[in-house]
Homo-oligomer: A and B are copies of this chain.
Amino acid sequence: MQGTSDNGRNSSVYYGKLNNYVNGEWVESKSTQIREVVNPATGQVIAHVPLSTDQEIEDAANTANEAFRAWRETPPVVRSRYFFKLGALLEENFEKLSRIIVEEMGKTLNEARGEMRRAIEEVECACGMPILMQGYVHEEVSPGIELKVIMQPLGVFFMVPAFNFPALVPLEYMPYAVAAGNTYITKPSTEVPITQTKIFELIDKVGFPPGVINMLHGSSGVVDKLLENNLVKGVSFVGSTPVGRLIYRKAAQHNKRAQCAAGAKNHFVIMPDADIDKTVSAMLSSFFGCGGQRCLAGAVAVTVGDVYEQLCGKFVESAEKLRLGYGLDNKTQLGPLVSKEHKANVVKFIEQGIKEGAKLILDGRKAEVKGFPNDAFLGPTIFDDVKPDMMIANEEIFGPVACITKVKDLDEALAIIENNRFGHSSLIFTSSGKSAREFEYRTTCGNVGINIGVAATMAFATLGGLKETNFGDLHGRSESVKFFTERKIVVSRWF
């Protein structure tokens, strides 16, 4: 049926049953538990993904552990060379991978391209490992005594990503772990496992030594088994707060390191002196980009003073015009959610909002996309008159649902942010240097945007996160090098 259109809808192909990648080889899982991977726009099954067996999980951990010693003994500058190659291969396959992201996850092609650009930047940043893992030295801490501190890799790490950035999220961790000398297991999301599988084809092409980077398909069973496995040193997780907390605790239970980037409920504060048109444009992208399925997405618009009057109408009007459709269609501005099931969850929140008394001024539930009867599409949805104690103002919805709250001044806006249990992002729109500084200094979030709708960091920085948004003290990107290494102190003297 999608085959009848020319706007990219017929591009869906069937990617087959996905294999694991272990010890430098593609291995078919013997698991009898197989899940379908569905293109959320078309409803087509585009691949099947196995839930790896306990034995396969143990084998992968053993393999990674065996590969560790030789890899750690490979100089960083040589390890980096593999990532220069991987970066070049990703660049070559930029367009192809972008399309796969759209097919399995639903976002628009431009959003997928943005994701790919960032993913490549992570790989490029990890190419700087010789500098990132530089140790330090004090020639003389006492007469004739030298003190040297070296960063050494630890062994096997693994990654449990969220579904929303099929290419990017695993690459916010793996390149740093591996370039630092560790070996690795990526467990892609079962909802979007194809992109990583394709990326592993490039990893295979690069020719990393067998066992250095592995991929296991599967679900919480893989996570549990790897957390219980003594050979594993730590885990990186990106996903919801309840799961993140669980993994953080279980990792500690097994004496492992854990870094868990979890939920968000981001406040978007608009001051009376904000540029209205640019603010609205940033709001559209922040609240509805990637279908609201980003940890950095805006969730609550906090209008300060009388800005509400100028802003609200324009916001709703513009949101209404967003063109819903298949991500591969060039005209599409908003794709489907990742799955019917996820849409159902988001719809429940909308119903809850109505029940709580918020005013539904734009209802995305009625949205329809011709030729795509699959029920994963949800149009932009806006609630007005949202009170800070409503559930929709507090829980992470992870869909294209905006809440509008009015406050009288910046202090009140900051109080709402402080009282929220998440501490991911908060954003301010203003032309005043004073308000921006005040906001940046006082807001209790790890990521702050000033006239920026999505306060995304770069590979060469890190990601922030306070309160229930983060478990652990070291986060992804270049900061994770410390997470993936232990300092070895060498004190020496000669006689």
Chain B residue contacts of A450, Cβ below 8 A: 433, 490-494
A136 to B131 CA separation, bound complex (whole angstroms): 10
Shortest beta-carbon distance from A22 to chain B in Å: 25
Contact with B along A473-495 (1 / 0, CB 8 A): 11100110011001111111111
Look across to chain B and name the residue whose beta carbon is closest to the beta carbon of A234.
B473
Report B-chain residues with C-beta under 8 Å of the C-beta of A463: 489
Decide: B77 and A141 in contact? CB cutoff 8 A.
yes
B139 touches A150 (CB 8 A): yes
Given known contacts A77-B141, A130-B458, is B434 in contact with A494 (CB within 8 Å)?
A: yes
CB within 8 Å of B: which A410-469 residues: 430-434, 436-438, 440-441, 445-452, 455-458, 460-466, 468
Could you say which residues of chain B place their CB within 8 Å of the CB of A486? 446, 464-466, 470, 473
A146 to B440, CA, bound (A): 12
Known: A75-B142, A436-B433. A491 touches B456 (CB 8 A): yes
What separation, in Å, do the CA atoms of A148 and B461 have in the docked complex? 9
Given A139-B135, A492-B452, A493-B452, are A482 and B487 also a contact pair (CB < 8 Å)?
no
A248 at interface, CB cutoff 8 A: yes
Interface residues of A in 202-258 (CB under 8 A from B): 234, 245, 248-249, 251-253, 255, 257-258
Indicate if the CB atoms of B449 and A492 lie closer than 8 Å. Answer: yes
Please, what's the 1-or-0 string for A129-149, where 1 marks a CB less than 8 Å from any CB in chain B? 011101111111111111111
Q: Does A173 contact B (CB under 8 A)?
A: no
Interface stretch, picked from A6-14, A51-59, A120-128, A341-349, is A120-128
* In the complex with contacts A139-B135, A457-B489, A464-B488, A437-B494 CB distance below 8 A: yes
Closest chain-B Cβ to A232's Cβ sits at a distance in Å of 14
Closest Cβ–Cβ distance, residue A71 to chain B (whole Å): 12
Q: Is A275 on the interface with B (CB-CB < 8 A)?
A: yes
The answer to whether B130 and A127 have CB atoms under 8 Å apart is no
Residue in B77, B84, B451, B464 whose beta carbon sits within 8 Å of that of A494 in the complex = B451
Which residue of B449, B474, B495 contacts A434 across the interface (Cβ within 8 Å)? B495
CB distance from A343 to the nearest CB of B (A): 30
Do residues B474 and A441 form an inter-chain contact, with CB atoms below 8 A?
no
Interface residue from B455, B464, B478, B490 paired with A440 (Cβ < 8 Å): B490
Q: Chain B contacts of A253 at CB under 8 A?
A: 249, 252
Bound CA–CA A489/B101 (angstroms): 27
Interface of A is mostly: mixed
Q: Does A325 sit within 8 A of B, measured CB to CB?
A: no
- Is residue A471 contacting chain B, with contact meaning CB distance below 8 A? yes
Is A87 part of the contact surface with B, judged by Cβ < 8 Å? yes
* Contact assessment for A473 and B471 in the assembled complex, using a CB-CB cutoff below 8 Å: no
CA distance A143 to B458 in the complex (A): 14
Collect the chain B residues with CB atoms within 8 Å of residue A475's CB.
487
Tell whether, in the assembled complex, residue B137 and residue A136 are in contact, meaning their CB atoms are under 8 Å apart.
Answer: yes
**In the assembly, what is the distance between CA of A87 and CA of B451, in Å?**
36
Q: Assess whether A76 is interfacial by the CB under 8 Å rule.
A: yes
Task: Assess whether A323 is interfacial by the CB under 8 Å rule.
Answer: no
Instruction: Please tell me if A312 contacts chain B, counting CB pairs below 8 Å.
Output: no
Q: Does A314 contact B (CB under 8 A)?
A: no
Among B125, B255, B437, B446, the residue within 8 A (CB) of A468 is: B255
Contacts of A431 in B (CB 8 A): 432-434, 494-495
B-facing residues in A177-203 (Cβ within 8 Å): none
In the complex, are the beta carbons of B73 and A458 less than 8 A apart? no
A30 at the interface (CB under 8 A from B): no
Which partner residue on chain B sits nearest A490 by CB separation?
B448
- Rounded to whole Å, the gap between the CB of A224 and the closest CB of chain B is 16
Complex Cα spacing A471 to B252, Å: 8
Is A278's beta carbon under 8 Å from chain B? yes
Complex contact A147–B434 (CB within 8 A): no
For A428, give the chain B residue with the smallest CB separation: B492
Residues on B with C-beta less than 8 A from A433 are 430-433, 436, 450-451, 492, 494
Cα(A483)–Cα(B483), bound, Å: 12
In the assembled complex, A88 has its CB within 8 A of some CB on chain B: yes
CB A248 to nearest CB in B, in angstroms, measures 5
- Which of the listed residues A249, A490, A493 has the most CB atoms from chain B within 10 Å of its own CB? A490
